[in-house]
């Protein structure tokens, strides 16, 4: 309170001659170094190929809407927006916020979003063009007002924060794509300064940032890239950096006890599950009772506690905070006896042998060990695993139906998405049956016309309350039939910072957003 009063007072003194900008805040000062465990490859959001790219571009670029720290959706660069109906086809009508500037001083206008839309629909530039496929045309009404006309409903468009990133049209047309990668310009709170691959990226707070309330309070920010856990921890403990991401789960307890250190854990937008072929009649897991036996066999809570040091959150089909989360949906209880009975009922009184594929490249902390634990629990009730380790590059092809067909046995899998998340797109990929060449069921292990119809409905549905109801309905059926895999946990990621740092985690860039970071005075 005192701080904001002070800020208002300061603003009043400094901006007296420019009353139009009465809320312009005091420029930030000071420097801060932080360390990330992974780094982005590209800096232009349109070039992005993986979630990790957001770690860097998420600091510089912004979308029309954004999810706030409480996981509620906020209007961001859009002042208002609504889904309207134009003769049976949906239209998203958007009014831009006034006074938003790019880092080079250009004002943000509808043309910049039209440009972004064109680039995000261009196969030569973006690999995400299918996300724009449902948009028929982009209509500019005036510099701060535009409309997106859809051919058909596209629920994922709404679910993923209206997908478009504000790109500076005039600047980009002047410098070209390649130079833009080396000197990106966005509307975000951080201005690009320099980057050294595998080492660091440097930012400077953007003084003309439009958001007077939620903004950084430090002038210079350096993000170091330190992949090895112990080294990152050492960098923090020795004071080389004052903030780190991904505290190793085994060390979170120790970090919580460190004097002068603040920690916070958040759910990472990744959903872990175990999947099995339920399509091929010869598959042992074709029988729903075998799948249920597996669900009863694995003690997920014990794994979270023992293997992950509590750094995981159990979920059933839809995670907490995600659209359509249903608190009444309970996991299958750990019950090895029941599991054996179910196996017996399915015709395997003595169990059976099966290959079990484990991802050994840790995409999430201790993923390999979790896999080993899954398979040990499965073996204990008679689903006897012959464990096969797989490196990420092999594993990712492995999950795809068009290359591998259906795979016999169990394998650990995951689906990542934005925060808070919406299961529409993941389910289109692994719950809908596999339709060659159409994008449906690319990693599917399930096939059921009833489920297909529901997932397709969900794909088209743009109305949030209706989506929510539909998601809950699908989740129930999915859970009963253990369809499209057995959901287990969502990893938690822990951040630590020294108490001289003020930090409020925003879900952008998977909680690594430096939207509100600063140094205590």
Partner 1 sequence: MRAEMFRGVPWLALLVLAAVGICAAGGEALLPFEPGELDLGAAFKPPAWISGDWASPLGADNLGRDILSRIMAGSRVSVIVAFYAILFSGGIGAVAGMVAGYFGGWVDTVLMRLIEIQQSVPAIALALILAAALEPGLPTVVLVIVLTYWAWYARIIRGEIMALKGRDYIAFARVAGVGTARIFLRHLLPNIFNTLVVLATLQVGQVILFEASLSFLGLGIQQPDISWGLMLADARQYITNAWWAITMPGIAIMLTCLASNIFGDWLRDRLDPHLRQL
Partner 2 sequence: MLRLFGRRLLQGLFSIIGASIIIFVISRLSGDPIVMMLPNDAPLSAIEEMRRTLGLDRPLWAQYLIFIQHALVGDFGNSYRWKMPALQLIMDRLPATIELAVCGLLFSVAVAVPVGVMSAVNRGGWVDRVGRVFAMLGQAMPAFWVGLLLILLFAIQLNWLPAFGYGSASQFVLPAISLGWYPVAAQTRIVRSAMLDVLDSDHIRLSRALGTPERLIVWKYALRNAAIPLLTMLGVYFAAMLGGAFVVETIFAWPGVGRTVVEAVFARDFPVVQAGVMFTSILFVASNLLVDLSYGLVDPRIRDAR
Residues in contact with 171: Cβ distance below 8 Å, sequence separation at least 6, in sequence order: 102, 104, 106, 180, 185
User: Largest Cα–Cα distance of the chain, in whole Å?
Assistant: 85
- Write down the residue that tokens 């310009």 correspond to: 185
CA distance 3 to 268: 32
> 166-191: string of b/e by CB count within 10 Å (b at 16+)?
bbbbebbeebeeeebeeebbbbbbbb
Q: How far is the CB of 440 from partner 2 (least distance, A)?
A: 8
Interface with partner 2 includes 453 (CB under 8 A)? no
Q: How far is the CB of 176 from partner 2 (least distance, A)?
A: 13
Interface with partner 1 includes 404 (CB under 8 A)? no
CA distance 212 to 24: 7
> Per DSSP, which regions of 178-303 are E strands?
190-196, 200-205, 220-225, 243-244, 261-267, 270-276
Strand partners, 210: none
Out of 53, 112, 161, 229, point to the residue binding partner 1 (CB under 8 A): 229
What the block records as the tokens of 110 is 């509808």
Q: Looking at beta carbons only, is 225 or 316 nearer to partner 2?
A: 225
237 binds, among partner 2, partner 1, none (CB under 5 to 8 A by kind): partner 2
Out of 34, 47, 166, 274, point to the residue binding partner 2 (CB under 8 A): 47
Element (H, E) at 358: strand 352-359
Of the ranges 17-25, 109-117, 124-132, 337-345, which one interacts with partner 2 (CB under 8 A)? Answer: 124-132
Before 420, cis peptide (omega within 30)? yes
Interface with partner 1 includes 303 (CB under 8 A)? yes
Q: How far is the CB of 20 from partner 2 (least distance, A)?
A: 40
Interface with partner 1 includes 263 (CB under 8 A)? no
CA distance 501 to 513: 14
Phi and psi at residue 436, to the nearest 5°: -55, 130
What the block records as the tokens of 420 is 């808070």
Q: Looking at beta carbons only, is 84 or 394 nearer to partner 1?
A: 394
Out of 69, 107, 128, 345, point to the residue binding partner 2 (CB under 8 A): 128
CA angle 88, 92, 93 (to 5 degrees): 120
Binding letters toward partner 2, positions 208-227, x by CB under 8 A: ----------------xxxx
Interface with partner 2 includes 42 (CB under 8 A)? yes
CA distance 521 to 206: 19
Interface with partner 2 includes 87 (CB under 8 A)? no
Q: What is the contact surface with partner 2 in residues (CB under 8 A)?
A: 41-42, 44, 47, 49, 123-124, 127-130, 178, 181, 196-199, 224-228, 230-235, 237-238, 240, 361, 391-394, 396-397, 399-400, 402-403, 415, 425, 428-429, 436-439, 442-443
Contact residues: partner 1, CB under 8 A: 229-230, 233, 248, 250-251, 254, 302-303, 305-307, 358, 360-361, 365-366, 368-369, 372-373, 376, 386-389, 391, 393-394
């Amino acid at each position: 309170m005192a701080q904001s009063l002070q800020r208002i007072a300061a603003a009043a003194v400094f901006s007296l001659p420019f009353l139009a900008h009465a809320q312009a805040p005091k420029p930030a000062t000071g420097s801060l170094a932080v360390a990330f465990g992974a780094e982005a490859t590209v800096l232009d959001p349109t070039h992005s190929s993986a979630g990790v790219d957001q770690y860097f571009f998420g600091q510089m670029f912004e979308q029309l809407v954004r999810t706030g720290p409480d996981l509620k959706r906020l209007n961001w660069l859009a002042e208002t927006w609504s889904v309207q109906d134009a003769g049976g086809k949906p239209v998203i009508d958007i009014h831009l916020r006034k006074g938003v500037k790019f880092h080079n001083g250009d004002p943000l206008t509808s043309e910049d979003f039209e440009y972004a839309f064109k680039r995000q629909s261009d196969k030569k530039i973006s690999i995400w063009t299918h996300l724009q496929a449902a948009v028929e045309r982009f209509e500019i009404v005036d510099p701060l007002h535009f409309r997106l006309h859809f051919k058909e409903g596209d629920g994922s468009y709404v679910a993923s924060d209206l997908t478009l990133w504000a790109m500076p049209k005039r600047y980009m047309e002047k410098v070209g794509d390649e130079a833009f990668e080396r000197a990106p310009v966005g509307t975000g709170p951080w201005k690009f300064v320099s980057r050294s691959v595998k080492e660091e990226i440097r930012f400077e707070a953007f003084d003309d940032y439009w958001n007077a309330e939620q903004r950084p309070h430090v002038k210079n920010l350096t993000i170091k890239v330190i992949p090895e856990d112990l080294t990152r921890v050492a960098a923090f403990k020795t004071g080389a950096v004052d903030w780190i991401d991904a505290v190793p789960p085994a060390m979170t307890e120790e970090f919580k006890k460190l004097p002068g250190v603040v920690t916070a854990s958040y759910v990472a937008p990744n959903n872990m599950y175990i999947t099995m072929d339920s399509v091929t009649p010869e598959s042992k897991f074709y029988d729903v009772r075998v799948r249920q036996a597996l669900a009863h066999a694995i003690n997920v809570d014990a794994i979270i506690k023992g293997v992950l040091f509590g750094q995981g959150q159990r979920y059933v089909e839809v995670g907490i905070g995600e659209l359509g989360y249903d608190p009444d949906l309970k996991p299958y209880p750990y019950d090895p006896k029941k599991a054996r009975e179910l196996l017996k009922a399915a015709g395997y009184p003595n169990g059976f042998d099966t290959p079990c594929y484990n991802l050994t490249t840790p995409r999430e902390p201790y993923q390999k060990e979790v896999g080993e634990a899954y398979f040990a629990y499965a073996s204990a009730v008679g689903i006897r695993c012959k464990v096969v380790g797989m490196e990420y590059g092999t594993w990712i092809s492995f999950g795809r139906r068009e290359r591998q067909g259906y795979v016999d046995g169990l394998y650990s899998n995951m689906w990542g998405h934005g925060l808070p998340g919406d299961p529409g797109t993941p389910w289109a990929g692994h719950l809908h049956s596999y339709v060659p060449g159409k994008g449906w069921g690319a990693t599917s292990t399930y096939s059921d016309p009833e489920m297909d119809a529901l997932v397709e409905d969900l794909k088209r549905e743009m109305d949030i309350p209706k989506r929510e109801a539909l998601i809950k309905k699908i989740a129930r059926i999915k859970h009963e039939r253990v369809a499209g895999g057995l959901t287990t946990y969502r990893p938690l990621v822990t951040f630590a910072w020294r108490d001289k740092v003020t930090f409020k985690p925003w879900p952008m860039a998977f909680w690594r957003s430096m939207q509100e970071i600063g140094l205590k005075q």
